[in-house]
A = this chain, B = another copy of it.
Amino acid sequence: MLETKADTPTLILDAAEQLVLEHGFAATSLDMILTEVSLTKGAFFHHFRSKAELGRALLERFAERDRALLDGVLARSGRLARDPLQRLFLVIGLLQEEALALTEPHPGCLMASYCYERQLFGDAVHAIIAETFVYWREQLGQLIHAAMAVRPPRREVSAADVADLLTSVSEGAFILSRATADPALLGRQLQQYRNYLELLFDEK
């Protein structure tokens, strides 16, 4: 049906992403990737100028999908509700749904991985990472801000900080989930985040 005949660059990116999340970027050799997709160096360097460029392309694709994920849940929440507070909880709910579907620990976040190999990358890469984190802060922050207008929170908080907290909890849970080999951990941590929001916006 969806005869998605994957093209070579995509095949390479797919294999690379998975390997990088397991080994780190530096320890992921081109040979490892190319063995995975049954190609040779010649093919690789026809599509990418260097390994560094592969790293950048990998991150760019990841960041785009990451923003698309947020855009998606924001859009869906908008179709299901008008009230910002309801929308906010819908957003968290949709993310929780995905977390609950995991049967093994979340594969992790490429941006976090790159952060722990910071010196390997140039400013262009650092900028993409920062922008993507800030995108969540701003997009989600707007919704939180709107919710705070509808219902004053029980603690004086910054919408940006509360938005960042979702990112923090997620990133931290990715790591913890992997370290303890517990696929359900992410869902439980997102539930804590939901608890926080519920208490924050509790009536009375």
Contact residues, A170-204 vs B (CB, 8 A): 170-173, 175-176, 178-181, 185, 188-189, 191-192, 195-196, 198-200, 202
Complex interface: chain B residues within 8 A of A90 (CB): none
**Chain B CB within 10 Å, residue with most, of A118, A130, A169, A181:** A169
> Contacts A155-B199, A168-B189 given: A133-B23 contact, CB under 8 Å?
no
The CA of A162 and the CA of B195, in the complex, are separated in Å by: 11
A24 CB within 8 Å of chain B: yes
A111 to B: closest C-beta gap in Å: 7
> Contacts A130-B180, A162-B192 given: A24-B168 contact, CB under 8 Å?
no
The CA of A116 and the CA of B120, in the complex, are separated in Å by: 14
Judge whether A167 and B162 touch: CB under 8 Å: no
A157 CB within 8 Å of chain B: yes
A113 CB within 8 Å of chain B: yes
The CA of A176 and the CA of B166, in the complex, are separated in Å by: 11
The CA of A119 and the CA of B22, in the complex, are separated in Å by: 6
